[in-house]
Amino acid sequence: ATSKMAGADSDDSLYPIAVLIDELRNEDVQLRLNSIKKLSTIALALGVERTRTELLPFLTDTIYDEDEVLLALAEQLGNFTMLVGGPEYVHCLLPPLESLATVEETVVRDKAVESLRKISHEHSPVDLEVHFEPLVKRLASGDWFTSRTSACGLFSVCYPRVSSTVKAEIRQHFRTLCSDDTPMVRRAAASKLGEFAKVLELEYVKSDIISLFTALASDEQDSVRLLAVEAGVSIATLLPQEDLETLVMPTLRQAAEDKSWRVRYMVADKFSDLQKAVGPEITKNDLVPAFQNLLKDCEAEVRAAAANKVKEFCENLPEDSRETIIMTHILPCVKELVSDTNQHVKSALASVIMGLSTILGKDNTVEHLLPLFLAQLKDECPEVRLNIISNLDCVNEVIGIRQLSQSLLPAIVELAEDAKWRVRLAIIEYMPLLAGQLGVEFFDEKLNSLCMAWLVDHVYAIREAATCNLMKLVEKFGAEWAQNTIVPKVLGMANDPNYLHRMTTLFCINALSEVCGQEITTKHMLPVVFKMSNDQVANVRFNVAKSLQKIGPVLDSNCLQTEVKPVLEKLASDQDMDVKYFAQEAISVLSLA
Amino acid sequence: MSSAATTPPSVDKVDGFSRKSVRKAKQKRSQSSSQFRSQGKPIELTPLPLLKDVSAQEQPELFLKKLQQCCAVFDFMDTLSDLKMKEYKRSTLNELVDYVTVSRGYLTEQAYPEVVKMVSYNIFRTLPPSESNEFDPEEDEPTLEASWPHLQLVYEFFIRFLESQEFQPSIAKKYIDQKFVLQLLELFDSEDPRERDYLKTVLHRIYGKFLGLRAFIRKQINNIFLRFVYETEHFNGVAELLEILGSIINGFALPLKAEHKQFLVKVLIPLHTVRSLSLFHAQLAYCIVQFLEKDPALTEPVIRGLLKFWPKTCSQKEVMFLGELEEILDVIEPTQFVKIQEPLFKQISRCVSSPHFQVAERALYYWNNEYIMSLIEENSNVILPIMFTSLYRISKEHWNPAIVALVYNVLKAFMEMNSTLFDELTSTYKSDRQREKKKEKEREELWKRLEDLELKRSLQSDGIIPT
């Protein structure tokens, strides 16, 4: 095909096209990949007719290539409808995509199926029956499992738009694949069962889908059974309430007690969806005990998945009995999970447990939940502590910051000195909120010293966060407060023997000058900065230059010219090249040259 | 608040300071997967007399009773529960192991279902989740099976049973069926290497004795591998299964069935793509070479397959591929060699110029292999032009002096092989490279022109063609 294309045309504008098609066969994968990615350009240049008659056959013939090239090709073809002449000709794209849907590599196949699904919508109902559906049938009866797995994803897109005879055939093919000999195919079918059920008429959902669901949910391989769980949730949303009990619940109940933890995990993971699908009555009678069992499962994986759903499950309980169910059935399990042996379980619980306070209200929170929060705040695993701290706001809304701080403050203070720096970081990030809600007095009394201590933390990220924290505090409490409480302490660090602490002074000044305003900056901070320009450590000196650049805009022009400029000029002739560099940069940014 | 919420609550990233070694210490614990079955209730077994203490006629009956008792499964995670009964079962199992080894006439027809039942009750279970999310068999300690004191004896017993002279597959096949084999194969995912080792022997014996199950076993192994390659990349027993396959392939009759060839091309070759290749590469390479020794005509598809899946970024894997390729070349027939020499040496030429010296070195070692050297020599007209540019360039540019030295030797060998061609290539080296550069430039221009064209066209047909 290529040589014909190359030779056939004398039109100069088309010459490069022929070469490009040669490029599609270049030895270098990268070059082939580049050309494939430009495929739409090539097609555009060729025009719709030559794209149909020459380019597509060529692509179909040369489908054997690196998976990476095939992936790009599969993706491109999904957007090719206009390039072959619009919906009328879209079926020309089917042959290359059909080949791509049979290759071994999963990502290529999936992409081909995705593109096929996309262009299926551009087929007319007639073309769908004449061209698309036969392709699905061929794939569904392919020799190797790859084509059959691909077929599974295509039934649902053509089913709604074909005649009832063809519909019957499609259902038959799907049925066959659900009992395929290869587990890969059964998995593909199981994963598409829910989607397929959605496009079926209700009578066929009841007659066909339910039996397939039941069969897949009791497959010998747990990898198939667990996929059926998800399908079960979709199916449940389709059926009228009165059919749920007989048609899906027995199977779902069985899944919740499956001998394989993977299946039980899946049930736990899909629990909220399941709950919504089956409605309040079944939830009360069936799901509550099932959920309790999952929370007490013998495998930690399952408990963690269930713990993750505690809040959502409780939220979605029917309002009339919500509190009773939580207090009598769920909370006892939650209490046990707080001291679970597995840290992932505890941490999953910690990430949602605070959400229960909104549902249970103030009194229950204080009486039942606070002790649990406190226990988790003291958990040996940092992730658990972190998850609790990160969600304090929910509780705050319910019981108010006073009560929260009274009960939690000791724990928070303890965490402020936690050995894990990320925990300390999380606490620091809480400070502005706490400060705002507790007020100045309380803050000065209990938390101020913590905030200052973080400035000399041995981890840079903490010192940096502490600096930023100071700025936020000043925004809340005002410049006067800053001048009285924190500025003196910050400036005092300028004489610290440790140069890292001296630099922290500079970083704080950078952060605080703007919120503190011109007066405090000029009167109190600037002299200290100047003094540090004689520091013996070069890093301090070039940070002086950076600081001056940073606080320059806060200062008045007289001060800049008479005081800042000479200092920067001196630094610009420093021995150290970094100091020179930053001094010169400051001079030019502040236009002092 | 918002900044706190954005801190990812993910598992291992929270603590930047935890080291693998620290986590490992925590991890070193064993797991039991039998928990789900035996929750709570204490188990009582009534002690039975020893088999050797009863008369020969009574022994079969007692044997059955003991088998039934051993169906009781204990919770080994609870180290304190049922201590006495655990010890009793252990000694009973020991007795059974000895009994099937030395006794004669014990294997009544009724015993078969009881043996299979006892074995099934003990070994078949859902394997527990791996302790760490990303269990890395090279780095992490495997989680050991807590119930091993019993499990080992059950396996030991089952193997003695299968190997016993009185064992009759024609009776046993009613009980050791497809379902049994399927469950057995799932156990190969066990993290405990001791268990996988026993399973290997068990499966091997079953494959050997039950002709009717052979095709089924091969098909299921196929499925496990395909799932491993294309779906999960996780299965602990790949090396063990490959080891069994190695001997199965060895026994294939000639000519090879289409099924076997398909297995080679569609399953064994794609196994090379898996991230954890190093864990089973030796066994895999052995299987591949077995195939080629059976049927040399398979050489071309195999080598083309390896070239297709050649590692792009992982140098360790590249070294493994080069090793395997050398094993293949060691047994290649000269007629087959000619068929694949071009693509093969294009890849070798790329390996030789790898900046990773271990890759380059491994490829250059081929020139120490006498048989490969003889093949190269016979085909130097084809191979030398392919290799020359890389070799010439490396001899000037490679950072590693050892590689440069090796390349000099290779160049010298080529010079001796075919001095006319060598001189020709040396003299055209510069002009060839210039031509390449020119071609590169032309390509760039081409794309530019094309983009202009596209712009022009889409302007012309504005509104029709979406951009």
Greatest mean pLDDT range, A40-49, B125-134, B427-436: B427-436
Flag the least confident range among A244-253, B144-153, B184-193, B458-467. B458-467
Residue A339: DSSP 8-state: T
CB A422 within 8 A of CB A382: yes
The closest of A53, A110, A56 to A80, measured between CA atoms, is A56
pLDDT digits (tens, 9 = 90+) for A292-341: 999 999 888 999 999 999 999 998 888 888 888 998 999 999 999 998 88
Over residues B27-42, the mean pLDDT reads 51
Confidence at residue A279, expressed as pLDDT on a 0 to 100 scale: 87
> Comparing A117-121, A205-209, A390-394, B338-342, which segment has the lowest mean pLDDT?
A390-394
Q: Within an 8 Å CB–CB cutoff, is residue A301 touching chain B?
A: yes
pLDDT of residue A180: 93
Contact state of A389 with B129 under an 8 Å Cβ cutoff: no
Report DSSP letters for A402-471, one per residue: HHHHHHHHHHHHHHHT-SSHHHHHHHHHHHHHHHHHH-HHHHHHHTHHHHHHHTT-SSHHHHHHHHHHHH
Give per-residue pLDDT as tens, A266-283: 999 999 999 999 888 888
pLDDT in tens, A10-69: 444 555 566 667 777 777 778 888 888 888 878 887 788 888 888 888 888 776 678 888
Q: What is the mean pLDDT of residues A485-508?
A: 92
Cβ–Cβ contact A433 with B under 8 A: yes
Q: How confident is the model at residue A140 (pLDDT cuts 50, 70, 90)?
A: very high
Q: Which of A67, A299, A343, A388 to mutate to test the interface with B (most CBs of B within 10 A)?
A: A299
- According to the model, what pLDDT value does residue A13 have? 54
C-alpha span between A434 and A447 (Å, rounded): 9
pLDDT tens-digit map of A574-592: 999 999 999 999 999 998 8
Q: Residue A512: what pLDDT? A: 92
A38 contact residues in B (CB cutoff 8 A):
447, 450
> What is the CB neighbour count within 10 angstroms for residue A558?
8
Q: Do B231 and A187 touch (CB under 8 A)?
A: yes
From chain A, pick out residues whose CB is under 8 angstroms from the CB of B15: 382-383, 420, 422
CB contact under 8 A, A382 and B14: yes
User: Which class for A56: exposed (0-12), middle (13-18), buried (19 or more C-beta within 10 A)?
Assistant: buried
Say if the Cβ atoms of A23 and B4 lie within 8 Å. no
Residues 136-175 on A with a CB inside 8 Å of B are 144-145
What distance in Å separates residue A105's CA from the closest CA in chain B? 7
The partner residue sitting opposite B465, judged by closest CB among A82, A223, A344, is: A82
Residue showing tokens 């309002």: A319
pLDDT value at residue B466: 44
| Chain B residue with Cα closest to A84 | B465
pLDDT at A396: 73
3-state secondary structure of B277: helix
Q: What is the mean pLDDT of residues B440-459?
A: 73
d(CA B69, CA A161): 62
CB neighbourhood size of A111 (10 A): 23
pLDDT tens, B3-30? 433 333 333 333 333 333 333 333 334 5
Window 87-106 of A: residues touching B by CB (8 A cutoff) are 104-106
The partner residue sitting opposite B14, judged by closest CB among A220, A301, A422, is A422
- Mean pLDDT within A487-513: 92
CA distance A309 to A305: 7
Do residue A344 and residue B3 have CB atoms under 8 angstroms apart?
A: no
Mean pLDDT across A79-95:
90
Average pLDDT over chain B, rounded to whole?
A: 84
% chain A with pLDDT above 90: 52
Chain A contact set for B1 (CB, 8 A): 393, 429-430, 433
Rounded to two decimals, the pTM is 0.77
Quickly count: other Cβ atoms within 10 Å of residue B466's Cβ.
10
- Check CB contact under 8 Å for B454 and A422: no
Q: Which burial class, exposed, middle or buried, applies to B221 when counting CB atoms under 10 A from its CB (0-12, 13-18, 19+)? A: buried
What local confidence, expressed as pLDDT, does residue A443 receive?
Answer: 83
What confidence score (pLDDT) does residue B12 get? 36
Whole-angstrom CA distances from B280 to A383, B137, B272, B327 are 36, 11, 10, 16
Task: Nearest chain B residue to A262 by CA: give it.
Answer: B129
Q: Between chains, do A183 and B126 touch, taking CB under 8 Å as contact?
A: no
Question: In chain B, what residues touch A396 (CB-CB under 8 Å)?
Answer: none
Task: Give the confidence band of B79 by pLDDT, cuts at 50, 70, 90.
Answer: confident
Chain A residue with CA closest to B38: the answer is: A298
Is A44 close to B443, i.e. CB distance below 8 A?
A: no
Q: What is the DSSP string of A307-334?
A: HHTHHHHHHTS-GGGHHHHIIIIIHHHH
What is the rounded average pLDDT of the residues A561-576? Answer: 92
In B, which residues are within 8 Å of A299 by CB distance?
36, 128-129
Nearest to B9 among A42, A184, A387 (CB): A387
| A373: pLDDT strictly greater than 80 | yes
Q: Are B85 and B73 in contact (CB under 8 A)?
A: no
Contacts with B225 from chain A: Cβ below 8 Å: none
* Count of helix runs (H) and strand runs (E) in chain A: 45, 0
Mean pLDDT of all residues in A92-114: 93
CA distance A275 to A286: 10
Percent of chain A with pLDDT over 70: 96
Q: What is the ipTM of this complex?
A: 0.78
Q: How many CA atoms lie within 13 A of A319 on its CB side?
A: 0
Average pLDDT over residues B69-77: 86
Taking the CA of residue A19 and the nearest CA in chain B, the distance in Å comes to: 8
- At residue B4, the pLDDT reads 39
CB contact under 8 A, B129 and A44: no
Whether residues B230 and A300 touch (CB distance < 8 A) is answered with no
Long-range CB pairs of B207-211, under 8 A, 24+ apart, other chains included = B207/B244, B207/B248, B209/B162, B209/B167, B209/B169, B209/B172, B210/B169, B210/B172, B210/B173, B210/B176
Q: Which of A165-174, A228-237, A446-455 has the lowest mean pLDDT?
A: A446-455
Give the chain B residue nearest A44 (alpha carbons): B454
Residue from A9, A25, A44 whose CB has the most chain B CBs within 10 Å, to mutate: A44
For B230, nearest residue in chain A (alpha carbons): A106
Q: Tell me if A351 and B9 make a contact (CB, 8 A cut-off).
A: yes
Alpha carbon distance B359, B365 (integer Å): 10
Residue of B nearest to A108 (CA): B230
Hey, of A63, A261, A293, A346, which one would you mutate to test binding to chain B, going by the most B CBs within 10 A of its CB? A261
- Interface A-B, measured as beta-carbon pairs within 8 A, has a size of 106
Chain B partners within 8 Å of A220 (Cβ): 179, 182
Per-residue pLDDT for A5 more than 80?
Answer: no
pLDDT score, position B40: 58
Mean pLDDT for all residues in chain A: 87
Which residue of chain A comes nearest to B274, CA vs CA? A105
pLDDT confidence tier of residue A1, bands split at 50, 70 and 90: very low
Higher pLDDT, residue A381 or A88 = A88
Q: Which residues of B touch A (CB under 8 A)?
A: 1, 3-5, 7, 9, 11, 14-17, 35-36, 39, 126, 128-129, 179, 182, 223, 226-227, 230-231, 266, 270, 308, 346, 443, 446-447, 449-451, 453-454, 457-458, 464-466
Shortest distance, CA A171 to any CA of chain B (angstroms) = 26
Which residue has tokens 């790859």?
A146
